[in-house]
């Protein structure tokens, strides 16, 4: 499944640099799912929490409308610099991205309510429940939120795993499943991609 849609040179290079920098980007199958979702939504505005040094952003931008803008939030300035280089190498104009360095929970409250087609979360796992709350405010009706690492290396399904990151992901999975405002889906790609559509 990971090899079904092979990554090109721009993605492979961004992935290598991201891994060297200590940022584990979304896998190829998860990235392809993000591109599919962005294209299905005809997305013009997307928020990304955690840049993965450009890998997820390239996938998202390739699915978005040609005039779409990706807002990328990352705590690490070095990761944002690598992401900018990755976007340029993939042929995207700087006008297609808005890069914000900072802690997501400090940045997200400054973004406009109901103004986004999609929110992708791949940063601090312990903050996933808070990212979901923020995403519900940011998304327009019919918008989609997605979380990488929803299986968290098989730890989520193991009841003996009680560390804070695993517990936070479990809580997010429960919140998405039980919220009547959402249409949930857990895709078994990569390390798990939890998706939810915000109803009208």
In a domain, 59, yes or no: yes
Output the pLDDT for position 2.
75
Return the percentage of the chain with pLDDT > 90, whole number: 91
pLDDT digits (tens, 9 = 90+) for 65-94: 999 999 999 999 999 999 999 999 999 999
Q: How many domains does the chain have?
A: 1
In a domain, 173, yes or no: yes
Domain encompassing residue 101: 9-198
Distance CA 37, CA 190 (A): 16
Output the pLDDT for position 128.
98
Q: Say if residue 50's pLDDT is above 80.
A: yes
In a domain, 4, yes or no: no
Whole-structure pTM value: 0.96
pLDDT digits (tens, 9 = 90+) for 114-165: 999 999 999 999 999 999 999 999 999 999 999 999 999 889 888 899 999 9
In a domain, 2, yes or no: no
In a domain, 1, yes or no: no
Q: What is the CATH number of the domain that holds 106?
A: 3.40.50.150
Output the pLDDT for position 87.
97
Output the pLDDT for position 1.
66
pLDDT digits (tens, 9 = 90+) for 164-192: 999 999 999 999 999 999 999 999 999 99
In a domain, 36, yes or no: yes
Output the pLDDT for position 28.
95
Answer yes or no: are the C-beta atoms of 173 and 194 closer than 8 Å: yes
Strand partners, 101: 74
In a domain, 163, yes or no: yes
In a domain, 3, yes or no: no
């Amino acid at each position: 499944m990971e090899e079904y849609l092979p990554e090109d040179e721009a993605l492979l290079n961004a992935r290598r640099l991201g891994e060297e920098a200590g940022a584990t980007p979304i896998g190829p199958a998860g990235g392809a799912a993000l591109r599919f979702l962005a294209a299905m939504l005809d997305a013009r505005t997307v928020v990304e929490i955690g840049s993965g040094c450009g890998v997820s952003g390239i996938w998202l931008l390739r699915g978005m409308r040609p005039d779409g803008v990706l807002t990328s939030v990352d705590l690490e300035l070095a990761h944002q610099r690598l992401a900018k280089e990755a976007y340029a190498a993939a042929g995207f104009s700087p006008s297609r991205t808005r890069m914000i360095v900072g802690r997501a929970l400090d940045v997200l409250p400054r973004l406009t309510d109901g103004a986004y087609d999609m929110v992708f979360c791949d940063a601090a796992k312990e903050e996933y429940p808070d990212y979901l709350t923020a995403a519900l405010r940011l998304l327009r009706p019919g918008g989609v939120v997605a979380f990488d690492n929803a299986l968290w290396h098989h730890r989520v399904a193991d009841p003996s795993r009680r560390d804070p990151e695993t517990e936070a992901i479990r809580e997010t999975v429960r919140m998405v499943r039980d919220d009547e405002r959402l249409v949930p889906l857990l895709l078994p790609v990569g390390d798990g991609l939890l998706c939810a559509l915000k109803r009208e």
